[in-house]
Amino acid sequence: MAKTVTFTIFRYDPERDKRPYYKNYKVEVRRPGMMVLDGLNQIRWEQDGTLAYRRSCREGVCGSDGLNINGVNMLSCITHIEDLKEPIVIQPLPSLPVIKDLVVDFTDFFSKYYIVKPYLITKTPPPSDRERLQSPEDRKKLDGLYECILCACCSTSCPSFWADPDYLGPAALLKAWRFIADSRDEGSDERLEIVNDRHGVWRCHTILNCIEACPKQLNPTEAIANLKKAIVQRKF
Amino acid sequence: MLGKYQGSGRSGAFDWYFQRISGIALVIGLFVHFIVLHFMTEPPLNYAKVMARLSSPLWKAFDIVFLVFAVYHALNGFKMIIDDYVHGPSIRSFLIGTLWVVAIVFFVIGFLTIVSL
């Protein structure tokens, strides 16, 4: 018989449950390299069809299945069951409202993301004969910034994000720096104006949880430090 | 929703930057005191020697500057904690007002102590 592991899963259906509770499930490790998402699928498909969670690409690209697993935010689809200590405690991403079980409401996360204007802003007209070009060196400056998949693992791991409901959070601020650092972008002034706020970069106290949580190995803390530096250099 | 993040007057840039400036100034100030007291004063070290130094106008000026940085750094630290955790406008105004009162009281007590040496 295949080896089994225990998943302790946060369950909450606001229409039926008075309060959240944890439920244990046995998951069979049927092949080497099984991911946590495979375990969740096994539970939903074979044991308990009422378990709710998000997933889509199941290969760490779509950012749908950010979860808090054994206390750390990560993607269930790229986390090996065998790398985790038992019992494997699975909770929804912290600080966002729970819709059901492991599904959280991303409205607040995305509205903060839109606030930093996460798109190329240009003021000068593009060259008439071609697209806006960028040198390989300038393009390299965006490595480690553009790869964000908006899974919210970073922002929901941040104690400042938990404490201040209006704090923009590491994901939005990383995106702000991604465009400010882009040689083709001309919207630095307005973006710095937005992030230079009591609920913007100044709420970051370099706790570094965001770096630990990021499944793409990005460094939001460094991006926020660059934003702070850019603001201070302009002001003082 | 964007409106909340614009035109709030004090953004926190000054608070953040001068927290670092005052922190560095405090470290330098402490080391100057420490080195002058323990390595540049002719032993044996006694009360009269220290008092003679601290009552000179130059040292008084130095200590008043040190006091300004210390009060700013300490109270601004508390302000940052308030910024982190207190979001209701009236309780914020009350707490930040209290910080100002405490800062002024500390400064006045420290200032009077230094000039009366």
DSSP designation for A209: H
Question: With an 8 Å Cβ cutoff, are B8 and A197 in contact?
Answer: yes
Predicted confidence band at B11 (pLDDT cuts at 50, 70, 90)?
confident
Predicted confidence band at A2 (pLDDT cuts at 50, 70, 90)?
confident
Can you give the pLDDT at residue B44?
A: 86
Question: With an 8 Å Cβ cutoff, are B6 and A194 in contact?
Answer: yes
| pTM confidence score | 0.91
Can you give the pLDDT at residue B42?
A: 82
Question: With an 8 Å Cβ cutoff, are A197 and B83 in contact?
Answer: no
Percent of chain A with pLDDT over 70: 100
- The residue type found at A74 is M
Interface check for A231 against chain B (CB to CB < 8 A): the answer is yes
Q: Number of residue pairs across A and B with CB atoms under 8 Å?
A: 56
| pLDDT tens digits along A63-111 | 999 999 999 999 999 999 999 999 999 999 999 999 999 999 999 999 9
Interface check for B42 against chain A (CB to CB < 8 A): the answer is no
Predicted confidence band at A235 (pLDDT cuts at 50, 70, 90)?
confident
Can you give the pLDDT at residue B117?
A: 81
Can you give the pLDDT at residue A236?
A: 85
Using an 8 Å Cβ cutoff, are A173 and A195 in contact? yes
Can you give the pLDDT at residue B3?
A: 65
| pLDDT tens digits along A11-43 | 999 999 999 999 999 999 999 999 999 999 999
Can you give the pLDDT at residue B16?
A: 93
Question: With an 8 Å Cβ cutoff, are A200 and B5 in contact?
Answer: yes
Burial of B9 (0-12, 13-18, 19+ CB in 10 A): exposed
Percent of chain B with pLDDT over 90: 71
Interface check for A118 against chain B (CB to CB < 8 A): the answer is no
A111: which chain B residues are within 8 Å (Cβ-Cβ)?
1
Stated as kind and residue range, the H or E segment containing A73 is: strand A72-75
Distance (Å, whole) CA A220 – CA A208? 8
Interface check for B10 against chain A (CB to CB < 8 A): the answer is yes
Interface check for A70 against chain B (CB to CB < 8 A): the answer is no
A194: which chain B residues are within 8 Å (Cβ-Cβ)?
2, 5-6
Predicted confidence band at B22 (pLDDT cuts at 50, 70, 90)?
very high
Structure tokens at A28: 């069979």
A228: which chain B residues are within 8 Å (Cβ-Cβ)?
16
Question: With an 8 Å Cβ cutoff, are B11 and A163 in contact?
Answer: no
Distance (Å, whole) CA B24 – CA B104? 22
Chain A 202-221, CB below 8 Å of chain B: which residues?
Answer: 202-203, 205
Structure tokens at A234: 């302009």
Predicted confidence band at B43 (pLDDT cuts at 50, 70, 90)?
confident
Predicted confidence band at B41 (pLDDT cuts at 50, 70, 90)?
confident
- The residue type found at A45 is W
Select the residue from A112, A197, A206, A234 to test the B interface by mutation, using most B Cβ atoms within 10 A.
A197
| pLDDT tens digits along B47-90 | 988 898 889 999 999 999 999 999 999 999 999 999 999 999 99
pLDDT at B9 over 60: no
Rounded mean pLDDT, A149-169 = 97
Most confident of A97-106, A122-131, B29-38: A97-106
Question: With an 8 Å Cβ cutoff, are B15 and A193 in contact?
Answer: no
Chain B 67-86, CB below 8 Å of chain A: which residues?
Answer: 83-85
Question: With an 8 Å Cβ cutoff, are B8 and A198 in contact?
Answer: yes
Could you say which architecture CATH assigns to the domain A107-235? Orthogonal Bundle (1.10)
Distance (Å, whole) CA A17 – CA A222? 42
DSSP designation for A169: H
Can you give the pLDDT at residue A72?
A: 97
B14: which chain A residues are within 8 Å (Cβ-Cβ)?
235
Can you give the pLDDT at residue B2?
A: 66
Question: With an 8 Å Cβ cutoff, are B1 and A111 in contact?
Answer: yes
The phi and psi torsions of A185 (rounded to 5 degrees) equal -85, 145
Q: List beta partners, residue A3.
A: A29
| pLDDT tens digits along A130-152 | 999 999 999 999 999 999 999 99
Distance (Å, whole) CA A119 – CA A201? 19
Residue ranges covered by each domain of chain A: 3-104, 107-235
Using an 8 Å Cβ cutoff, are A9 and A92 in contact? no
pLDDT at A162 over 70: yes
Interface check for A107 against chain B (CB to CB < 8 A): the answer is no
Which residues are CB-contacts of A111 (< 8 A; sequence separation ≥ 6)? B1
Q: List beta partners, residue A67.
A: A74
DSSP labels for chain B? -GGGGS--S--SHHHHHHHHHHHHHHHHHHHHHHHHHHHSSPSSP-HHHHHHHHTSHHHHHHHHHHHHHHHHHHHHHHHHHHHHH---HHHHHHHHHHHHHHHHHHHHHHHHHHHT-
pLDDT at B1 over 90: no
The CATH superfamily of A3-104 is: Beta-grasp domain (3.10.20.30)
pLDDT at B109 over 80: yes
A195: which chain B residues are within 8 Å (Cβ-Cβ)?
5
Q: Which of B2, B15, B84 is nearest residue A163 as measured by Cβ atoms?
A: B84
Can you give the pLDDT at residue B115?
A: 92
Task: Kindly list the structural domains of chain B, giving each domain's residue range(s) and its CATH number in brackets, ordered by start.
Answer: 13-115 (1.20.1300.10)
Rounded mean pLDDT, B88-99 = 94
ipTM > 0.95 (yes/no): no
